[in-house]
Amino acid sequence: MQYPNVHLAKFIDRPNRFIAHCRLIETDEVVTTHVKNTGRTTILQPGVTTALVHNDNPSRKTAYDLVAAKKYDRQWINVDSQAPNKIVKTGLETNYIKLPGIESIANVMPETTYLDSRLDFAGTDNGGHPFFLEVKGVTLANEGIAAFPDAPTTRGLKHVQTLEKAVDDGYLAYLLFVIQMKNIQTVTIDRDIFEELAVEIDKAQKKGVHVIAYDCKVEPGSLELDQPVPFNLNQKFVSDGLPSSIGRK
């Protein structure tokens, strides 16, 4: 996917989950931007280069969206929480994403309610076998290891439990981690942040829920689904130790 009207800027601070202050590199102007990721990301540190998308809609409170940041001035990481579902939809429709147990996907339906949960995708394979798929974006990484989540997520826990129920009811079920960066060897669950999720995913895998992951090619103005990455629930994740960028009052 491509972003229009991209401008580079230096991150200044993040007073709350929804906004940040950045200094445009081309004009030196300080602007208020909407952060398209409300998580406790450690990527946004003072001085980090960011990618902002300008929007001309006069009804918006901010004229920019912050969509990516260059960690340690080496690697771009996409932080747009809406982007993973967009690229996964295309990946499923084109059969670029390979789902275990499915030779070819026949149709895909986004935002489908099952039991008491709204799952990201439902679909069928060419044999008419139905499946559900839930997407989780990953922006947390250190030393080639990516991890989910960046904060406790009861919603994510519920989604895993719903996928387990879907398997019980005869559906194929998938949990897909979209790693919004490259140079990752494996992805895991950060047990220090949410041990309960790791325990539930272990149960889900034993029940038959498939857990898969893909990394992405990232540039300031683009995000492209790339290659499968192994998921290893037993991989230990060690945080980079940077503080959260969200200001506290």
What torsion do the CA atoms of 112, 152, 62, 50 make, to the nearest 10 degrees? Answer: -110
Identify the pLDDT of residue 240: 81
Burial 187-203 (b: 16+ CB within 10 A, else e): bbbbeebbeebbebbee
Strands 222-228 and 210-219: antiparallel
* Helix (H), strand (E) at residue 88: helix 83-93
CA 45 to chain centre: 19
Q: What is the pLDDT of residues 119-167, one digit of tens each?
A: 999 999 999 999 999 999 999 999 999 999 988 999 999 999 999 999 9
Residue 248: is its pLDDT beyond 60?
no
Q: What is the pLDDT of residues 14-60, one digit of tens each?
A: 999 899 999 999 999 999 999 988 777 789 999 999 999 999 888 88
Token pair in block for residue 171: 């559906």
Give the rounded percent of residues in the chain with a pLDDT score beyond 70. 97
Residue 102: is its pLDDT beyond 80?
yes
**What would be the CATH architecture of the domain defined by 83-228?**
3-Layer(aba) Sandwich (3.40)
Domain ranges in the chain? Answer: 6-74, 83-228
Residue 246 — pLDDT band, cuts 50, 70, 90? low
CA distance 36 to 51: 12
Question: Helix, strand, coil proportions of the chain in percent (round to 5)?
Answer: 15, 45, 40
Q: What is the pLDDT of residues 227-241, one digit of tens each?
A: 999 999 999 999 887
Check if CATH label 3.20.190.10 holds for domain 6-74: no
Give the rounded percent of residues in the chain with a pLDDT score beyond 90. 87
Identify the pLDDT of residue 72: 76
Residue among 116, 100, 97, 137 at smallest CA distance from 108: 97
| Alpha-helix runs per DSSP H in 94-236 | 154-168, 191-207
CA distance 141 to 245: 15
Q: What is the pLDDT of residues 157-197, one digit of tens each?
A: 999 999 999 999 999 999 999 999 999 999 999 999 999 99
